[in-house]
Amino acid sequence: MKDNHTLTYILFVVAQMILCNYFHFTPFVMLTILPVLVFLLPVRHGTASAMLIAFATGFAVDYFAEGTLGINALSLVPVAFVRRALIETICGSEPFEHKEDITIRKYGFAKILLAVIIVQSLFLAIYTVADCAGTRPLWFILARFGASLLASVLVSMLIVKPLTNVDRR
Amino acid sequence: MPKERTVASKLANAVILIALEVTALVLLVNNGKMQQIWMMRVSHGFAAKTWGVSQDISNYFSLKKQNDELASENHRLEALVRDYRQTLESSDKSLEPVLADDGFLYTPAKVIKSGTNSQHNYLILDKGRNDGISENSGIITSKGVIGIVDAVSDHYSYAISFLNTEVSISSRLGESGTVGPLSWDGMNPDGALLKEISLQYKFAPGDTVYTSGYSVLFPPDIPLGTAGEARIINGATNEIKIKLFQNHSAVKYVTIVRNTRAAEIQEIEEGPQEKEGNKK
């Protein structure tokens, strides 16, 4: 079970690298699934280990994909930092008490969607500001943030099921 | 004990977060030229703001010392003004006239009598023919135009005050603006009307009005007042309310200005007219 999740996680990280390398549709959209990968890490990972995983994941994507080294790591670590508090706020403390991972079947589509929107927003806010580095106007930053959020939430919701089904098997 | 562990673990998480974020930021700044410039700008802005705040705090704490210094300076200047005033009041020939480069002769004078209550106000000054004063000299202060000398005796001058509905002086709106006649509004001792200002000329309330220098009576660029509301007259020109700097009900000391080149200007003005007359 543990190995299955690790393998799936690595596959999705590779998928993200491919996305970064080959799928440049428009400068207004940055497609990412990294925040949802970190958010749906098994609950046995505490905040510290989640942050280290997030940093390593972000660094790997930065290193192997086209991008500025450090930008994904910078944006992903805060997602791992707020992960536990976010799960407790949206799903309650049950996942940690019973060591049960989060699934759509148990907590419902709406709660997972809300959590995905929040983590994507946090990630994209940091990513967009750092990527634009004070060279773009505010309207561009806001437009890019909005379009990226919409696209990334849609793609993220598609991978929630395969990610969470791993643990049930 | 568990509570202490929670606090310690939160603290540890915060430290890890900061360490990882700083590492990521260092990586980002070292690998992205744009990000490097951005970070430099942010850090310089932060440093400038911090220094600015510390300077403000330092200035605040030195206010008392500055106040003491200003009070002492004020005291010294008041004493100086008192001395000058005593000199002025005790001597008839208090200050000698000064001839400036612009051809105007400036003679300080004291107002003996003045009125502000009628529509045709006048002034009597303590300088007359024996002091070099002649008819058609201007009367000014540093805050504006006071009037025009109308008649002189040996020791006194009779002047028509600016607070007289028949007096108007050539004035300019703004540093290099349009010119029009300025006259008293007939109501307030500090109110006037600037007339015949073209509708095309754009001005803003608060613009300063100066003497134009087109008249031989007054030197140019004496600030007179500030522009207020305007109204359109006959659909052709603006009439602007002016708030005068000089309150005419409180004038004690003035300066009489006489244009020493007035005769020369008049001669050159009349010359072509006479020639045209002779031709006819």
> Chain A: nearest CA to B27, how far in angstroms?
5
A68:B32 CB<8 A:
yes
Q: How far is CA B11 from CA A50, A105, A167, B7, B189, in A?
A: 15, 34, 31, 6, 73
* B37 interaction partners in chain A (CB closer than 8 Å): 133-134
**pLDDT band at A13, cuts 50/70/90?**
very high
Residue type, position B145, single letter: V
The arithmetic mean of pLDDT across residues B105-119, rounded, is 83
Kindly state the percentage of chain A with pLDDT values over 90: 49
For chain A, the distance separating the N- and C-terminal CA atoms, rounded to the nearest angstrom, is 7
Measured from the Cβ of residue B82, the count of other Cβ atoms closer than 10 Å reads 10
* B41 interaction partners in chain A (CB closer than 8 Å): 134
What was the pLDDT predicted at A56? 95
pLDDT in tens, A51-63: 999 999 999 998 8
A135:B31 CB<8 A:
no
**pLDDT band at B274, cuts 50/70/90?**
low
> Chain A: nearest CA to B48, how far in angstroms?
18
* B9 interaction partners in chain A (CB closer than 8 Å): 46-48
| CA B143, B147, B148, B149 torsion-angle sign | negative
pTM over 0.90: no
What was the pLDDT predicted at A168? 45
**pLDDT band at A169, cuts 50/70/90?**
very low
pLDDT in tens, B164-183: 878 889 999 887 688 899 99
User: Is A65 touching B (CB cutoff 8 A)?
Assistant: no
B16:A48 CB<8 A:
yes
What was the pLDDT predicted at A165? 67
pLDDT in tens, A131-156: 887 778 888 889 999 999 999 999 99
Would you say residue B48 has pLDDT above 80? no
* B20 interaction partners in chain A (CB closer than 8 Å): 51-52, 55, 73, 77
